[in-house]
A and B are shown apart, each in its own frame.
Chain A
Amino acid sequence: MPSKRKKRLSMTETVQSYAMISVGVIGLFIFVVLPLLWVLRYCLFSYKGFGEIRFVGFDNFVRVFQRSPKFWLSVRTTFVFAVGKLCVELPLALVLACMLAKKLKGRTFFRSLFFMPSMLSVAVIGVIFSYMFSSYNGVVNEIIKLINGVGGIKFFSKASTALMVLMIASVWQNFGFNMLFFMTGLQSIPEDLYEAARIDGATERQQFFKITIPMLGPVIQMVVLNALLGSLKVTDLVLVLTDGNPLGQTETIMTYVYKQFFTGSSGAPDYGYASALVVVSAVILGIVTVIYLTSTKKGSEIY
């Protein structure tokens, strides 16, 4: 008798749970899973949006690997962008976090201020920085003029300077966000460790490299992965700030692939080819993640 009662109860539980979870599941299926399936289906076909949908096997992938120099240029640009800006952003975030993790007057103020840019829209940041760095009379040009007399740099007409502006804008937006994570990590390090080290006569420098950094290992690992993937996926900033110009030299993976669906490389877009690009890009991001996680395994285990 009790077992029967239990079974009936769990039956109602199951029914009600399914009813509640179904909203999320159906939505997830339509708006997240279906687009992925769409891509997986079309990557083996050739389809220009009209006419016949032709099965071409792996031809699209062959084209991606053998006849898509612009895509691989965008891959290269993306990695240059990501590595370049992270080399500035993460050390800056860590240094600020170390300063602000201690008792310091105005600590909350600085923390809130540095985190503020992360609250803004990436696209709007693009607009702001396009004003700051505009050619001839932009604010940055005027400031340069004040310092050395000559301004007039056309930041957006050379690939190197355009990429630099992208990096600066991205660092400006994200350093506070990463700083916040480092701060949380720092605050979770027990104070006794430092106390013990001080009693043993360790200098501040030794404390930093022998206690702070190793104890922060897992947090650093997570922050770097987050920041790396975020940078490799940069989209809105590029679309608004440079739109891939000059000559597609600042196109990133996301913007290049995204545009392939709309304009294509030679006139009409080929959805099959674009889908293959999506698959390859996703695989690239996946490989980066796996390589990163396996190669940093040791660092995160020290904790």
Chain B
Amino acid sequence: MKRKKWNILVYLFLGIIAVFTLIPLLYTLSASFKTNPEIAAGGAHLIPKEFTLDNYKQVWSVGQEGHTFWTFTKNSIFVSLLTVVGTVIVTSMSAYCFQRRHFPGKKLLYNIFLATMFIGAGAITMFPLMQITSSLQLNNLIGVVLVQVFSTSAANLFLTMGYMKTISVELDQAALIDGCSYFGIFWRIILPLCKPILATVSLMSFQGSWNNYLLPNIMTSMKPAMQTLVVAIVKLKSSGGAGATQYNLMMAGTMFAVLPILTIYIFMNQYFVEGVTAGAVKG
């Protein structure tokens, strides 16, 4: 009896938090189908009185400053996919060297890697970073990719190294005897065997890159054609300054940025959960 009462309370609490979690998303979805006058008129109703797809059409075809959301979506996909490829290559190769190979100065390099990855100051070194990238002619989408790849979190490195530890060293030795080079061992043996963990790393870096705001914003400022989705959406917010803010367009744009990542999350959520927890709890 007491158990049952307790269970009801637990579900009530979980339910309240579930509503708290869903409300902002549901209202975003709802506003993306409302007309701007309806949004401006207010009201807490979720179902639009006048259901319209115009917001999506407008955002998709007209966009802003002559560039449509199709362009921004392409930019986001381009940046995110290249970031994934780069991160997987750099992370797996560094992890392989640190976990498997012996060479002078390994410990020192490893410590430098860890230190800088933890120090990574984020927004406050954004300006120096911009100075450096623009002197290298890299203040464009490729620059965004490179920065994202090389300032990748220590968690990725730990995660991959931890997984590599479970792969038998005898495989390496057998390959070595058969005349495989050290790079060959990595390429033909370790990399294929690390696929599961690299899937997690890929998802995490895709999500990070797709969602990134400040870096692509800075690197592509003055270049509206290079904006990513997130940057373009935030621009919609600030450009609406005079007169009525165009919440309908903002919310439709938001759906473009949110839906892909939520879809991936729904189908792959186990990988995300693994990636987030495994990387940190051990440390």
Contact = CB atoms under 8 A, between A and B. Distances in A.
Nearest to A33: B116
B214 A235 contact: yes
Given A24-B94, A180-B277, A222-B280, A132 B13 contact: no
A293 interface: no
Nearest to B91: A24
A119 B259 CA distance: 11
Interface residues of B, number: 91
A278 B121 contact: yes
A36 B233 contact: no
A131 B128 contact: no
A144 to B, nearest CB: 9
Interface in A1-32: 10, 12-14, 16-21, 23-25, 27-28, 30-32
Contact of B150 (A30, A124, A240, A257): A30
A110 B103 contact: no
Size class of the A contact interface (CB-based, 8 Å): 35 or more
Contacts of B77: none
A122 B207 CA distance: 12
Contact of A131 (B31, B120, B149, B151): B31
Interface stretch (B38-46, B48-56, B57-65, B163-171): B38-46
B150 A185 contact: no
A96 B11 CA distance: 11
B222 interface: no
A235 B18 CA distance: 26
Nearest to A23: B90
B44 A127 contact: no
A39 B125 contact: yes
Given A39-B128, A261-B127, A274-B127, A31 B147 contact: yes
What is the interface of chain B mostly: helix, strand, loop, or mixed? helix
Given A12-B182, A172-B24, A278 B124 contact: yes
A92 B125 CA distance: 33
Nearest to B15: A110
A77 interface: no
B33 interface: no
Interface string A269-288: 00100110110011000000
B122 A254 contact: yes
A134 B117 CA distance: 38
Contacts of B237: 127, 130, 240
Q: Which 10 A-B pairs have the closest CB atoms?
A: A137-B42, A121-B211, A27-B150, A123-B213, A261-B127, A38-B128, A142-B44, A35-B128, A16-B182, A17-B103
Interface of A: 10, 12-14, 16-21, 23-25, 27-28, 30-36, 38-39, 92, 95-96, 99-100, 104, 106, 110-132, 134, 136-139, 141-143, 145-146, 172, 176-177, 180-181, 184-185, 219, 222, 226, 233, 235-236, 239-240, 253-255, 257-258, 261-262, 271, 274-275, 277-278, 281-282
Given A127-B233, A262-B127, 13 more contacts: A24-B94, A121-B258, A123-B230, A124-B254, A129-B24, A137-B43, A172-B20, A180-B273, A180-B276, A180-B277, A185-B281, A253-B124, A258-B126
